[in-house]
Structure 1
Amino acid sequence: MKKKLVVIGAGFAGLQVVHGLKKTDLDITLVDRRNHHLFQPLLYQVATTVLATSEIAWPIRHLFRDRSEVTTLLDEVVGIDRDRKIVRLRNSAELPYDILVLATGARHAYFGKDKWEDFAPGLKTLEDATTIRRRMLLAFEQAELEADPAKREALLTFAVIGAGPTGVEMAGMIAELAHHTLPREFRRIDTRQAKVLLVEAGGRVLPSFSESLSDYVRTSLTKLGVTVRTGVPVTACDENGITIGEEPIACRTIIWAAGVQASPAAQWLGAEADRAGRVVVTKDLRLADDPSVFVIGDTASVKWGEDKSVPGIAPAAKQQGSFVAKCIRASLKGTMPPETFKYRHQGNLATIGRKVAVIEFGNFKLKGILAWWIWGLAHIYFLIGTRSRLAVAWSWLWIYLSGLQSARLITQKETMRDPEV
């Protein structure tokens, strides 16, 4: 009888496990709350009108249409019974497993200020991206209609909270949109008067990069028209705007890029977790007291060296997925599985606008337009399918040559706050 493998989560880590177990004698079930795999590193480009949603997401069923041993379920985990080896799902029957892989990713963390989410959405899903795009474009439309100068200024003020790669990339692209793409399309307002704020509680932007590249990025953002505020946290956030320290700033579009928290996997498993809610795993990515359960990706707290954790980025997730697939293959063959996951860091990359990026790999540092081209090629390489690679490459080339961002459709109704039009 075939062993039952259940993989929860169709992100980079979960997909890599399933891909790595092709032509094995397993009954594989892949569960996800959405019907698509999402290329999260480019999600901010959907939010900032650069790319369409279809260019960075692919139906999970389509990816495994030729794998008869793989069953895909659109459902949500509500609990796990490790004694009975059962996964409890919200909409279907209990799902038994022999081997369980949890790769359920992360969600926004508001550091105890969960009410801020209504006013400052984060960026983890396609719905988040289209919500942010909608609010941003509606702010320009409302400003075109607004006669009151103070209200117009608030509508044309955009605040991004958190200056990691996502925050830096978001702020740069919003500035590009306001200062270069939209000015000729509005008559009553000058979109170049828009204010883009990037707020970071820490001392500098991109803290995971070297100080020299961090300084370069800050200078580049300033040249694009972004106002960078560091060293003072956001202390309030509501429908009127934000407060930095004790300074209130009126703005109608706020984007959260300041922190993430792991999914509730540790609660489902009754397992030890770190401060971010990530499950603490052994050196082979299993639970210490249950070798039939693997936890990987943003869901897992994995040591890297003496005092670091493996970062929550796509290359790390794919490496963990490949490692787990090798472990499972070895157990099926009765051979010795690899004992220790060894993370191979492939460098830090971030882009600022449509012509500037920074790359850091050990002592090697690169900045400017050449870094932007390398950043683009690296992201195209990780996309799934020739069609997506060609579509994204063409979109970027068009924007690079023309400066025009074409995915500027206002769609979707939402329950969270929109500017009133």
Structure 2
Amino acid sequence: MTDTATPPNTPHRVVIVGAGFGGLEAANSLRNADVAVTVVDQRNHHLFQPLLYQVATSTLATSEIAWPIRHLLRKYKNIKTLLGTVESVDTAARTISTADGEVIAYDTLVLATGARHAYFGHDDWEPFAPGLKTLEDATTIRRRILTAFEKAEREPDPARRAALLTFVIIGAGPTGVEIAGTIADLARDTLKGEFRVIDPATAQVILIEGGARVLGAFAPDLSAYAQRALEKLGVQVHLGNPVMKCTADGVEYAGKFVGAATIIWAAGVQASPAAKWLDVPADRAGRVVANDDLTAPGHPDIFVIGDTATVKNGDKGTVPGIAPAAKQQGIHVAKAIRARLAGDIAPKPFRYRHAGDLATIGKRAAVTDFGWIKFKGYVAWWLWGLAHIYFLIGVRNRLAVAMSWLWISVSGTRSARLITQKDAADEDHLK
């Protein structure tokens, strides 16, 4: 039986589940505090998720956007890192339990467990239309994209070859737009002259969105520009028609079926089961409906942040599920814990500061909206690149990513075009 009482003369125990943007920021902000921090994550690396699509589309290598958690926290003697998958929370005993049976006691718990892609009740579509949330997702998508071109090169049947050269992206938010533009660049620029039977430039890239426009969270003029930029790259944009079916052979939407060997899902997310662990209210995506101080309802000793929570943003709806918001929440939680230990137990409402919206379209265009000023085109692309390089961890990674982007912009060559970890599922998918 686990003793959950805090041993005498020991620091306050803070357990952080998840080392994404929010969890890692909370841990960093508690460095050198008089607390004992335990960070638990089911993977050993922190992932810079905004650039994950660039791994999926052969622009960057996995090591350029991910870092070992232990290395990032190695200097902080009050922080311990554990590799494990949390399966439950006992709020009465103040413990969490992992898949391998370990029970970890806490005085304050921070749940930053993130989200996965959601298929709106059609989970059977996932084998045919993988989403993009992890490095494993990215390498799977990269493998399918590159293998499709290879199989098309030796496919004698014209109909099957056309399906192999058709790439469908479902969802026209930033991830969908960025993937569509990059695949179009890959087909029309990077692969030019490398095949003898097929012309990669004949590949169809289709972006399907159930809403009225691409980048629906952006200003209408930037949304319109993004669509024009995509179409200039050769992307076929289809709006107002939700997908009805995904199979191994293609996609059904707008009353028709399109043969496609590669389908990528960028249409929705589903939160981790944190709300079920705590038995608290959740929104439609499974996110905990958090109090305005980021605590879980009825549990002042538990904070929920990032994609784990939905939080009101004054009269502007809810806080967006983006990296800057998660980082701000991690800092807020750390400040709240420090204040409590100093005797200030009054709840402090979280106030989100929106820095702006950014999305790139291909390798030379982007849209940025900072509220007071907007940019589009090449200038916006430079701003987008500088912003992302700034938030990368470590000088080496910043230089490596900057050099990769510069080289691609000048030469069109992508050095990360490696087909790895081929498995039976992909072989069946592309037969």
- Among 185, 188, 201, the residue aligned to 1:192: 201
The 5 A counterparts of 1:273-352 are 273-335=282-344, 339-352=348-361
- Are residues 1:202 and 2:211 paired? yes
Distance, in Å, in 2 between the alignment partners of 1:214 and 1:227 is: 15
Distance, in Å, in 1 between the alignment partners of 2:314 and 2:425 is: 42
- Which SS does the other structure have where 1:298 is aligned? helix
Q: Give the TM-score taking structure 1 as reference length.
A: 0.98
- Are residues 1:216 and 2:225 paired? yes
Check conservation: 2:293, 2:347, Cα contact below 8 A: yes
Distance, in Å, in 2 between the alignment partners of 1:60 and 1:305 is: 34
- Which SS does the other structure have where 2:426 is aligned? coil
Distance, in Å, in 2 between the alignment partners of 1:353 and 1:288 is: 43
- Residues 227 and 420 of structure 1: is their aligned pair in 2 closer, same or farther, counting only changes over 3 Å? closer
- Among 101, 113, 134, the residue aligned to 2:110: 101
- Name the counterpart of 2:396: 387
The 5 A counterparts of 1:222-261 are 222-261=231-270
Distance, in Å, in 1 between the alignment partners of 2:299 and 2:79 is: 24
Residue 66 of structure 1 and its aligned partner are, at CA, apart by 1.5
Residue 314 of structure 1 and its aligned partner are, at CA, apart by 0.4
Residue 416 of structure 1 and its aligned partner are, at CA, apart by 3.3
Root mean square deviation of aligned Cα: 1.1
Residue 27 of structure 1 and its aligned partner are, at CA, apart by 1.1
Specify every segment of 5 or more residues in structure 1 that has no aligned partner in the other structure, as ranges: none
Q: How many pairs are equivalent?
A: 421
- Which SS does the other structure have where 1:376 is aligned? helix
Residue 307 of structure 1 and its aligned partner are, at CA, apart by 4.9
Residue 335 of structure 1 and its aligned partner are, at CA, apart by 3.4
Give the letter for the 2:261 counterpart: R
- Are residues 1:57 and 2:53 paired? no
Check conservation: 2:32, 2:78, Cα contact below 8 A: no
Distance, in Å, in 1 between the alignment partners of 2:221 and 2:280 is: 40
Distance, in Å, in 1 between the alignment partners of 2:85 and 2:373 is: 43
- Name the counterpart of 1:69: 78
Give the letter for the 1:389 counterpart: R
Residue 288 of structure 1 and its aligned partner are, at CA, apart by 2.6
Q: Percent identity?
A: 60
Give the letter for the 1:281 counterpart: A
Distance, in Å, in 2 between the alignment partners of 1:149 and 1:38 is: 40
- Name the counterpart of 1:9: 18
- Which SS does the other structure have where 2:425 is aligned? coil
- Which SS does the other structure have where 1:146 is aligned? coil
Distance, in Å, in 1 between the alignment partners of 2:108 and 2:142 is: 40
Question: Higher mean Cα deviation, 60-69 or 126-135?
Answer: 60-69
- Name the counterpart of 1:110: 119
Specify every segment of 5 or more residues in structure 2 that has no aligned partner in the other structure, as ranges: 1-9
Distance, in Å, in 2 between the alignment partners of 1:134 and 1:20 is: 38
Q: Give the TM-score taking structure 2 as reference length.
A: 0.96
- Name the counterpart of 2:188: 179
Check conservation: 2:280, 2:297, Cα contact below 8 A: no
- Are residues 1:159 and 2:173 paired? no
Give the letter for the 1:295 counterpart: V
- Name the counterpart of 2:57: 48
- Which SS does the other structure have where 1:320 is aligned? helix
Check conservation: 1:326, 1:338, Cα contact below 8 A: no
